[in-house]
Structure 1
Amino acid sequence: MAGLVVVGVDGSASSLAAVEAAAREARSRGAGLRVVHAFIGPAMHVPLGPAPLGPTEGGIRNMVERLVGEAVECARETTPEVDVSHAVVTGEPLTVLEAQSRAAELVVVGSRGMGGFVGLLAGSTAVHLAAHGRCPVLVVREQPSADGPIVLGVDGSDVGRAGGGVRLRRGGVRKASLVALHAWTTWNAAMPPPQDASAPYANPPDALPGEEEGLLAEALAGHRERYPDVVVEHKVVHGRTREALIEASRSAQLVVVGARGRGGFAGLLLGSVSQALLHHAHCPVAVVREVDAGH
């Protein structure tokens, strides 16, 4: 049974960009594409048809049909070979798309929708889905670099390990080069055990870089055997993770991160690094949660 990519649309320019990205993702995965619009009108008990004295093509329901039709046409023009379906589901976008994510292998949304407040860089729907979606979520921001790599943010957390195979497999499907990037500072580094038990805080000055190199290699261990055709460049950067990944996004076609890293506070569903990328990355951002490992 073929997989399914779901894209949320609301008529905004951002959602049409998401449709194009979702269509390409569906093609690369051999999956079908479902265009979904969350129709809040019935729940608000407002008139859905045209006004009595207005044009017959007016009204909220006709507007919804037009915007969904435009999105479907956009998808079919982008990837004629992909099976495209559509659904108009009564409910507010956050609830509708979270429910859709349970049967999808990927949900795609624009970074900003029609309801976004001026000044916000990422809409509430994108941030909410990245935290609560039941499959990986792709948030389409600026136009990606067509020949850039897929950048994988790796920090050694359980979420990063769980999502590693998903990310590598997707990179192989897309036939793109991959860069596994790990950034560290003395504040977030995994401290190596002291070489001198009598001086528990003493380590050679070059111990941390080597330890962080080892952490990256360990996080990706085993994936070379599972995905032998996927070549991954290891890159360790001394610096803050969010700045390193945002900078890497300038020349990337996609940045993939876990929803939460090893520095996250218990109870938070979306970490500061993934949130920063959703707001400031220069290319689309995919967020993988621990529950996504099975996709």
Structure 2
Amino acid sequence: MTAFEGSASVVVGVENTDAARLAVLWAAGEADRRGLRLRLVHALDWPVGAEHDPDMSKPWETWSGIFRRSGQQTLEEAHALALGARPGLDITRLLVDGQPDAVIRGQATNAAMVVLGSRRLSSVKELTTAGSIAVPVVAHATCPVVVVRDPEHVEDDPGTVVVGVDGSRVSERAVAFAFEEASLRGATVLAVQVRPFIASPVVGAVNNAEEIVEGRIRLGETLAGWAEKYPDVPVRRQVVLGHPVHTLAQASEHALCVVVGTRGLGGFKGMLLGSVGHGLVQHAHCPVIVVPRERDDGD
């Protein structure tokens, strides 16, 4: 039994961009692996002033028809793309009025997971502009959110699912997802624990060695039992001194995906608390899967 058995669908945000098409293909593959329906969602975000054409040549009814036909065409093209990649997949299409982030957040409430294409905004724009979709969705979603920034790396056999481990309860949820994903794909799990690095040549030598030992202990505690639950999944462990985003981004260069947990609590504060996940959305070299906390999860 998978973690998402009984869930309605894998939701993917659809736009007329290469990034969104890459997300559709990834979502189709994931829905097929998990035996779930794929739900294609396009947000009909009306352009400012569309209802008041300057030369009055197109009344509001005409604008409405134009944008709706465009949205429907975008959905039809995404449907053909997904079905071409995964014949026989159960696919539904949905055209919804509203801003993309609000529409996708609404669709996430009854989804197995949400998949988005990366708009490759800068870190500042990702936090502050209306062009951002990933950050508000990741901060508020109650299901895993996948941001497909780059294609998965399939050159290795078996492939690798990277998971960031920090010992928290939400990190344990990320580990659970990573093992399930690796089992579905016939892949290896690379569990990475990142510990702080002390540069001082005097204090650092001792403290850094202690950090490595502590990291191995915590990694062992978090992974305990998962090898027994998923005997088909090989596991590699890595303890690294440094910054989590930089380390996991490096690990993502040859990975199918990288999985992390988020401590997002909603609103701007929540976005900042999920700094590792949001940093990876900017810098990872493969799809990033952000697993949310449960309401009662501690830090």
Instruction: Find the counterpart in structure 1 of residue 270 from structure 2.
Output: 268
Distance 2:147 2:24 in 1: 11
Distance in 2 (CA, whole Å) between partners of 1:204 and 1:153 is: 22
Aligned to 1:10: 15
Cα distance in structure 2, aligned partners of 1:219 and 1:158:
9
**Alignment-derived partner of residue 75 in structure 2:** 68
* Structure-to-structure mapping, 1:50-61, within 5 angstroms: 51=58, 59-61=66-68
Offset of residue 172 of structure 1: 0.8
SS of 1:59's partner is: helix
Aligned to 1:234: 237
Q: TM-score by structure 1 length?
A: 0.81
In the TM superposition, 1:122-133 aligns within 5 A as 124-133=132-141
Q: 1:42 to 1:218 in 2, by over 3 A?
A: same
Give, in angstroms, the shift of residue 120 of structure 1. 5.5
Give TM-score, length-normalised by structure 2: 0.80
What's 1:197 paired with?
none
Deviates more, 1:222-231 or 1:133-142: 222-231
Paired letter, 2:134: A
Change (3 A) 1:127 1:267: closer
* Structure 2 unmatched runs, 5+: 1-5, 199-205
Is 1:155 paired with 2:166? yes
Which SS does the other structure have where 1:143 is aligned? Answer: coil
Are 2:183 and 1:181 equivalent residues in the alignment? Answer: no
Percent identity of equivalent pairs: 37
Matches within 5 A, 1:192-207: 206-207=209-210
Matched, 1:33 2:38: yes
C-alpha separation between the residues in 2 aligned to 1:154 and 1:267? 22
| 1:246–1:282 CA contact under 8 A, matched in 2 | yes
Alignment check: 8 A CA contact 1:150 1:176 kept = yes
- Inter-CA distance 65–223: structure 2 relative to 1 (3 Å threshold): same
2:3 is matched with none
Shift of 1:226: 2.3
Offset, 1:80: 0.7
Counterpart secondary structure, 1:211: helix
| Residue 250 (1) aligns with residue 253 (2) | yes
After superposition, the C-alpha distances for 1:3-41 in whole angstroms (9 at most, x for unaligned) are 410100121111111100000011111111010011123
Alignment partners' CA distance in 2, 1:44 and 1:170: 45
Higher deviation after alignment, 20-29 or 269-278: 269-278
Distance across 1 between alignment mates of 2:185 and 2:255: 13
Structure-2 separation of matches of 1:235 and 1:44: 54
1:145 aligns with 2:153: yes
One-letter amino acid of the counterpart of residue 268, structure 1: G
Q: 1:178 to 1:3 in 2, by over 3 A?
A: farther
Q: Which one has the bigger helix percentage?
A: 2
Structure 1 residues 149 and 259, CA gap change in structure 2 (3 angstroms): same
User: How many residues matched?
Assistant: 269
Residue by residue over 1:239-281, the C-alpha shift from the partner in whole angstroms, topping out at 9 and shown as x without a partner, is 22111111111111101111139xxxx9434422111110011
Matched letter for residue 212 of structure 1: G
Pair 1:292–1:4, CA change in 2 (3 A) = farther
Q: Which of 126-135 and 29-38 deviates more?
A: 126-135
Question: Mind listing any 5+ residue stretches in structure 1 that lack a counterpart?
Answer: 188-202
**Dislocated runs of 4+, deviation >4 Å:** 42-45, 119-123
Change (3 A) 1:257 1:2: closer
Counterparts of 2:89 and 2:7, CA distance in 1: 11
Distance between the aligned counterparts of 1:47 and 1:172, measured in 2?
Answer: 54
Q: Distance in 2 between matches of 1:157 and 1:75?
A: 36
Inter-partner Cα distance in structure 2 for 1:246 and 1:205: 22
Q: Distance in 1 between matches of 2:149 and 2:207?
A: 43
How far apart, CA to CA, are the structure 2 residues paired with 1:204 and 1:99?
46
Which letter maps to 1:174? R
Q: 1:169 to 1:89 in 2, by over 3 A?
A: same
Is the Cα–Cα contact under 8 Å of residues 241 and 273 in structure 1 kept in the other structure? yes
Hey, what's the Cα distance between the residues in 2 that align with 1:104 and 1:204?
A: 44
Query: What displacement does 1:208 show?
Result: 2.7
Shift of 1:67: 0.8
